[in-house]
Structure 1
């Protein structure tokens, strides 16, 4: 229970705009949130920028958090994830694309058995929009309609991106599983 009390105290300090409290909260959640942002951006600088922008939103809106919104970390995680997605959108990822009919077979989650370092290497070869959709679907567990709503991209385009993920990563995954 000490950790819960510590987090509640940090929330109070952050709501009072206490810089040391903000720093402690940032440092406490940094490892998990940086990994989250790193999933979306190949460059560490962009990932760190998204994390910092997200944490600024957390500190700005911390007074709006209440226990009925769920666990505090989950709320922070959602704010930072949405900030990363917004950053991708404003960077000019394609919102609409002409796509043919794509047949999507449910092949399970090919990323489930990989180590995180291997996942980052795989994700680095994907374009930003395809990378983001891959993360939301395979790593965050969102459905295609949820991704479509979250990113304001048509469901058919989301399916195209997932097909593109499988097409681009299939040779690499086949090589990985041979080892």
Structure 2
């Protein structure tokens, strides 16, 4: 079955490279569930998540000829483009560029979200401001390191650490209630 799926993906890539609308629709529908959940992590409003997904997929279709299967799986390539498009959309919407903070130490293995159910995580993420939400997702759910997040979002490492501190501060009361259950 895996081989069949790989051949299907290769066929869809060929169709999309030829600007075949039906092929594009099939590819979009095939990846929609996972990519919509990705965008939904960043945007509490469903329409914003859908807009980011659609913008990302448009970039995928425009650049599909550049995909090289020697460098990785196709889905990972698409996922990265859509994730970066969502982050760019957040940046354009004007999150704070720099926050003055003292050095905040954030241990990499201290993930307050590990004990939560996925539906609870999304409810918690909805209460965070966009920049803090994006950094929380990249750090805790995507597994990115602070320097990588800082470079990707064009923020200082101190600003990223401040946002991670904000996550803990804002979610602490809710998490305490969750752990008492």
TM-score (norm 2): 0.96
Q: How many residues align?
A: 179
Q: Deviations 1:64-108 (Å, cap 9, x if unpaired)?
A: 001122000000000000000000000001111122332434562
* Unmatched segments (≥5 aa) in structure 2: none
| Superposition deviation, residue 115 in structure 1 | 1.8
| Superposition deviation, residue 3 in structure 1 | 0.4
Q: 2:18 matched to which residue of 1? A: 16
**More deviation in 100-109 or 129-138?**
100-109
Question: Is the 2:99–2:162 contact (alpha carbons within 8 Å) kept by the matching residues of 1?
Answer: no
Q: Distance in 1 between matches of 2:67 and 2:171?
A: 39
Q: Distance in 2 between matches of 1:21 and 1:48?
A: 20
Q: 2:88 matched to which residue of 1? A: 86
The reply on whether 1:166 has 2:168 as its aligned counterpart is yes
* Unmatched segments (≥5 aa) in structure 1: none
| Superposition deviation, residue 113 in structure 1 | 2.6
- Aligned Cα root-mean-square deviation (Å): 1.0
Q: 1:30 matched to which residue of 2? A: 32
Q: Distance in 1 between matches of 2:144 and 2:105?
A: 19
TM-score (norm 1): 0.97
